[in-house]
Amino acid sequence: MRTKFLMALAGALVIGCGGESHQDLRQFVKDSGNGLPVHIDPLPQAIAYEPVTYAAFELPNPFEPRKVELAKGQSSGLQPDLNRRKEPLEAFPLDNLKMVGTLYRDRITYALLRTPDNTIYRVKTGNYMGQDFGIVAEISDAAVNLKEIVQDGAGDWTERASSLLLQDEQEQKK
């Protein structure tokens, strides 16, 4: 019964849609072409493709850092001792070390340094500290002066001076 009803409904819909002549639609399509230019300019001539050979194989790669080539014999000769035994303070960057005081013993001046884990270390002139091969050059009541050996952009080792200043009591409490 249901299928007969659906078939009758579909037939009624088809009959209802086919009765018009669509004269207004035909008239619109006919009128829409009026007033358009009849002459259309031809397309411009396409330019022929000319392949270009890539000739930049010998140029440096812009995505790799450039290394300045040094002439033979221009190296500074400065190089850290990579075979020596590391000292405990070389495990910390200089920014994480704080000078908290000095100590005089047997005519030797020691600097007292605090690490991030609140361990106090005693260093003297000649000790190594920091991650850039820093050696303690001088200790005063207010600072520890270091000479660090770092690599420059050309891969050559250079020396730079750094220092740790004594922290006052307010800064120590922070």
Could you read off the pLDDT of 30-89 as tens digits, one per residue?
888 777 777 888 899 999 999 988 888 888 888 877 665 544 445 667 888 888 899 999
Give the amino acid at 142: A
Q: What is the DSSP string of 62-130?
A: TTS---PPPPTT--------TTSPPPGGGGS-GGG-EEEEEEEETTEEEEEEE-TT--EEEE-TT-EET
Q: What is the DSSP letter of 166?
A: B
Residue 56 has a pLDDT of 82
CA-based nearest residue to 113, from 134, 150, 149, 124: 124
pLDDT at 108 over 70: yes
Buried b (16+ CB within 10 A) or exposed e, 146-155: bebbeeeeee
Task: Indicate the fold that domain 88-173 takes in CATH.
Answer: SH3 type barrels. (2.30.30)
Could you read off the pLDDT of 129-159 as tens digits, one per residue?
999 999 999 999 999 999 999 888 777 888 9
Residue 123 has a pLDDT of 95
What gap in Å lies between CA 13 and CA 9, rounded to an integer? 6
117 versus 31: the higher-pLDDT residue is 117
Domain ranges of the chain: 88-173
